[in-house]
Structure 1
Amino acid sequence: MIWIAIRMLTGDAQKFYGLVFGIAFSTLLITQQLTIFVNLIERGASGVYNESSADVWVMDTVSRTTEVNFPMPSTALDKVRAVPGVEWAVPHLRAAASVRTATGDLEGVSVVGVDDATLIGLPRAMVEGSTDVLSQPDSVIIDDVGVTNMFEDGQDPIGQRLELNDQRAVIRAIGDAIPSFTSQVTLYTKYSQALRYVPGTRNRLTFVLVGATDGVSAQQLTDRIEADTGLRARTRDEFAQDGIDFIIQNTGIPLNFGITVALGFVVGVAIVGLTFSLFIRDNIKQFGALKAIGVTNGKIRRMVGAQAALVGLIGYGLGILGTVMFIHAFSGVPTFKGFYIPWQVPLVSLMAVTVILALTGWLALRNVLKTEPASVFR
């Protein structure tokens, strides 16, 4: 009977393709929008992800993310180093600045100052050049997305001179970094050099990056630092989550993407429901004939379930494939750099497709179950 149900479905090519298109479109829209949403909000933690050495981030009590921060006095570094369980602690500066390029254009940038001795705080990999260039005077490293934003027509940024808050800066390397939420240009330099580039205030230290000694967990160390110094300490994972939560709580992104995903679900229900109902109506006599020869309602349900499963399997596969092709096609665009499809997203799409098929299949099945066998002979 399952084979008969499949032949009935594929025999009406127009409605079969319409059902597959409805499921594929809904899957594509839901999966693509959820993928972009997840990757976009994760950009709020890019500053933490780009620095993989620190177990704990220490900051002022009012600081919330790598971008929303408040400077501390330089004495905070010594306080943190004195806490038991701290293997090493280095200064870390993050501040906004304005850059004037050689062509006279003005660009807002984020300046990141890393420890002079260890260079902890730099991106994990380099696209061009090495971290050794920071030993040269007035040297900065630009992130690869910043190259695209600041230099056009494939212009080589290496050796380019910038005017950074009335100070000379020379780009000598390109870092492979995860873009920030705003995709702002990021310049990396030594901490002592960054103090010259950033407008002077009484307190300049933004963060203290800390490594834990063996046998001391990051959570234990954060508790000790907060108790001994009165500063705010967060583990790497906690601080990354803080950046994500800040975007969710302070922007309209979740609502906007939620509306789009909901529309994808509604469109799927509308298209699939209408097409499935038309298919059932056009084949109501065939179902009536089957009931006339003794096919039970249970077998009818299994037949309709098999039809829905086939449509769902093909449409879902095409929708996921379309999302993968979309991400791959735009992987070279700086805005989509590092985008991936989390494994949870296809599962959410699968659940949505299952609900769509169950709902539309149930609505269409009611007419079949109400059909009297004798109606086929009228």
Structure 2
Amino acid sequence: MKYFFFILMIFAGSTAFCENLTINLGTEAIDCGKTNFYIEDVIDTRVNKEDIGTARTGMFNSITKVQMENGLDYSFLEYYSNSFQVGNDKLPILINITDFSVEEKMVPFQEKALTEAKFEFYLKRGDKYTKIFIKKLTVEHGSAVDCTKFHEENVRKIAQDMIKSFIDFGFDVSKISPDSKEFTKAELLQMKNGNTGAESSSEKRTLVTGNSFIYKNWKKTRSFTISYETARGGTYLEYRYEKTTGEGQNYTNSFCAGMGYYDVNDSEIKIIYPDNVVRSGKINVEAIPLSFYLYHFEKSGFWKGKWGAGISYYGYTGVIDMFPFDSRYYSSSTGSNFIISFDKVFGVVDAKNGNIFINLKVDYLYPLGKVNFSNYYGSIKTYAFGGPVVGISIGKYW
């Protein structure tokens, strides 16, 4: 019996003392350089304001409520006040937190601490507020032992990345439409989950106005490219699927896969024969390339876009006609190219959703070796597919 009471005491102790988990953002300033705004206020319009989610604590992973030390709105306001000084020459910004939650997920071989948030940024003009930016972020941290300790780090990262995304957005006050919908603070506080009702077309345009050159919340792209291969005058079509290593404007790099179709008809070509004699002929090639790219995104001065490198593997079939000096040579095989790629962003063209883009694409496909074209009498060598490629890419941010 005494063992039973001993076990019962351990169990009771592990559950009775599972107090709420409290998060403190601290006082460390965000390193974001010189800005033209400050955070005037932070409001919380979530439906449930009692806590910000749950964690699993103790020996038995008991579900525990997670709370901010001074409440969600005041904690963020206090944190941002340490980074942005109030000034008459700066723009007052109000942040409306419409969604904020933390949780722990049990996945095979580890636990994950997950934080999700959605912020709305409003510019104060007089005693009214105009919505100028919306951002949704997700941060997660995994551990094979215990991930509870990462909740505070995740919440702090949300606070920092939200502000950095707003800075990258680079809104322009002069481009805000005069008839944009405005709210009083009382009206904002009465809303639930940021439900501001139907937005006018002018307000939707306001939300995508700024110096940002990408859609404000994306993780992947799908695009279709039509290009001109300048060396032989071929046509190159390609479908690309791309995924970033970050989200929205927190990207730095991405990886991309593409599948295409290349076609050149009766293009003039010069062939060096085994006896070093150069003769002219006509080449016809059809190729199906599969390409893989690694990209780095950069926004600096005139350049707004990405650059990277990749490799392309292709299967092809082709004919070289050396008439009147020689006969026809045929080939059906595979080849490969090393790719240097540049994509310059023209801009976002969908005023409603802000997620359709047009890019100028310039690639150089360097052939990794020549291939054989042969007939009954012998063979000649050249590359089947490659060279400078210039085109336009149209796609969608997701």
Query: What's the TM-score, normalizing by structure 1?
Result: 0.28
Structure with greater strand percent: 2
Structure with greater helix percent: 1
Structure with the bigger RCO (C-alpha within 8 Å, sep 6+) is 1
